[in-house]
Amino acid sequence: MIQDERYMQRCLDLATLGAGTVSPNPMVGAVILHDDLIIGEGYTSPFGGPHAEVNAIQDAYRKLGEEEAKVRFRTSTMYVSLEPCSHFGKTPPCADMLVELHFQRVVIGCLDPFAKVNGQGVKKLQEASINTTVGVLEDACVFVNRRFFTRIRQQRPYVILKWAQTHDGFFSPENATQQWISNKASKQLVHKWRGEEDAILVGTSTVLIDNPGLTTRLWSGKNAKRILIDKDLKVPAHATIFNDEAETIVFNAYHTDWQKSKKLIALEHFDRYLPQQILYQLYLMDVQSLIIEGGAKTIQSFIDAGIWDEARVFVSQSSWKQGRPAPLINAIVSTRQKVGGDDLRFYFNR
């Protein structure tokens, strides 16, 4: 079992290399072990490309040659962090491929909750008399794919709240001016996070005060979709959020219009269940994860609705003694780490 956990951890390490590229697919890692040696490994390609198991097999082909690899597969173990798919999507079923290649054993981190898979991949392997183990490092495997699991089970994106506050609990100055709280290292880390999620959400006041671009300019990564809540369409067309560096979706009360990189979506009952309406619309657009960087009012609306999964809060060493208070979250700190002089606190909505 210790060996199984060791190689499953390697699968998890590989899986995270797909962050920001595989959505709405899950992040999966795979390792092929033969006589205590790894002969192939891989992780899921960007959306539409080969799955982790295919990439691990192709890796073995490159290292050993196809004929030799196929001989070794018959006495090899395939480790994979998520149940192999059992249906035809953009790629053929991975479970069928493992059966065809006669793997001796398959070790799976956790089952896939998607209705067309959920246990069916395991069933195919077992019916082919492949020794199958399920549930190795299960909690860790589920956690890595918490975005995917949330989308499948709750029909909404995984919601991450992000904000910075002073040591004495203030979010912004009283006079609605821009003033940085977190340090440069924290700012760069936020840009890394942006590249790992599908979308970033802000409200009208944040854009009018800060004029943000919401890109990953301080990190090497893709730009996420930009989501703007702008009920009365107050944000001017020349705002940086409307440049061509990323797609921008504007939820408002009046107008629907789809252009190249700017999409306006009117919500019929704008002030009723706004967080729920937005998340459902994003779910329909295959947005699997959302990081909310809006003002305190926007963030608090999702907290009050109980629709959030994770909060990442930078607490600086500075004290202002006055200002607009930070959002209030009814949760205990799960983990914390130092980012320069900032104290980064993680919360999870259990």
Instruction: Please enumerate, by residue number, every residue annotated as part of a binding site for NADP(+).
Output: 164, 180, 210, 295-301
Average pLDDT over residues 294-323: 95
pLDDT, one tens digit per residue, over 85-121 is: 886 666 678 999 999 999 999 999 999 988 777 788 9
Residue-level pLDDT at 83? 96
1-150 against 155-348: fold identical? no
pLDDT, one tens digit per residue, over 255-269 is: 999 988 899 999 999
Q: How confident is the model at residue 175 (pLDDT cuts 50, 70, 90)?
A: confident
What gap in Å lies between CA 235 and CA 230, rounded to an integer?
Answer: 7
29, β-bridge pairs: 43
The per-residue b/e assignment along 205-232, b for 16 or more CB within 10 angstroms, e otherwise, is: bbbeebebebbbeeeebebbbbbbbbbe
Residues 80/29, Cβ–Cβ less than 8 Å: yes
- For the domain made up of 1-150, give the CATH fold: Cytidine Deaminase; domain 2 (3.40.140)
Average pLDDT over residues 174-194: 89
Single pTM value for the model: 0.93
Q: Exposed, middle or buried, 275 (CB in 10 Å: 0-12/13-18/19+)?
A: buried
Residue-level pLDDT at 159? 98
Residue-level pLDDT at 90? 62
Active site residue 67: no
SS (H, E, C) 26-87: CCCEEEEEECCEEEEEEECCCCCCCCHHHHHHHHHHHHHCHHHHHHHHCCCEEEEEECCCCC
pLDDT, one tens digit per residue, over 202-220 is: 999 999 999 999 999 989 8
Residue-level pLDDT at 105? 98
Domain borders along the chain are: 1-150, 155-348
Q: Which of 38-47, 166-175, 228-237, 337-346 has the lowest mean pLDDT?
A: 166-175
Which residue matches tokens 């006079």? 175
Residue-level pLDDT at 91? 66
Residue-level pLDDT at 88? 64
Tell me the pLDDT of the chain averaged across its residues. Answer: 94
**pLDDT exceeds cutoff 80 at 312:** yes
Helical (H) or strand (E) element with 159: strand 158-165
Average pLDDT over residues 19-46: 96
Which of 41, 53, 83, 197 is flagged as catalytic? 53
Residue-level pLDDT at 276? 97
Instruction: Please enumerate, by residue number, every residue annotated as part of a binding site for Zn(2+).
Output: 51, 85, 94
**pLDDT exceeds cutoff 90 at 84:** yes
State residue 244 phi and psi, 5-degree precision.
Answer: -90, 10
Average pLDDT over residues 122-136: 96
pLDDT, one tens digit per residue, over 283-307 is: 999 999 999 998 999 999 999 999 9
CATH superfamily of 155-348: Dihydrofolate Reductase, subunit A (3.40.430.10)
Instruction: Please enumerate, by residue number, every residue annotated as part of a binding site for substrate.
Output: 194, 206, 214, 217, 293
Residue-level pLDDT at 178? 76
Identify which has the larger pLDDT, 316 or 179.
316
Helical (H) or strand (E) element with 274: helix 274-284
Instruction: Please enumerate, by residue number, every residue annotated as part of a binding site.
Output: 51, 85, 94, 164, 180, 194, 206, 210, 214, 217, 293, 295-301
Q: How confident is the model at residue 350 (pLDDT cuts 50, 70, 90)?
A: confident
